Amino acid sequence: MRNIDLTPLYRSFIGFDHLASLIDNASRNEKQPAYPPYNIELLAEDKYRISMAVAGFAPENIEIEVQDNTLRVSGTKEEQGEERRFLHKGISERSFERKFQLGDHVKVLAADMKNGLLHIDLERVIPEAKKPRKIEIGSGNLIENQG
């Protein structure tokens, strides 16, 4: 495994100390399984949609949870009591857990299931205090630190 030197980033990015920990955690995390397959779409400038193929799962078997900028989607498949014999088994019917790291100010808006696809809509909502503001030169108004 290679080590990544983040020193050049710290020269121009101020206050991004958590970036190093995110990269470190991503490199250390156990590899996520490829199941279930998913897409991430950009719907508009600050709107996103995660679509996951969850064929065979009912909405009551799926749990969606957000905690500390991590979206966790898990599905629990209950064992069926009857013995089934397959000539070919191409549809996976196993439980899963998939985690997505969300950026700052990204909120989960809604979740919907249709035709075997789970859709999770997300939006980045930047608070007014974080939006850029124009400072006029020579206005005579001093900006005081309110921290």
What are the tens digits of pLDDT across the range 9-49? 555 555 555 565 666 556 555 566 678 889 999 998 889 99
Query: pTM for the whole thing?
Result: 0.66
The CATH architecture one would assign to domain 32-130 is: Sandwich (2.60)
pLDDT per residue as tens digits for the range 44-97:
888 999 999 998 888 999 999 998 888 999 999 877 667 888 888 887 778 899
Report the 3 state secondary structure along the chain.
CCCCCCHHHHHHCCCCHHHHHHHHHHHHCCCCCCCCCEEEEEEECCEEEEEEECCCCCHHHEEEEEECCEEEEEECCCCCCCCCCCCCCCCCCCCEEEEEECCCCEEEEEEEEECCEEEEEEEECCCHHHCCCCCCCCCCCCCCCCC
Q: Where are the domains of the chain?
A: 1-30, 32-130
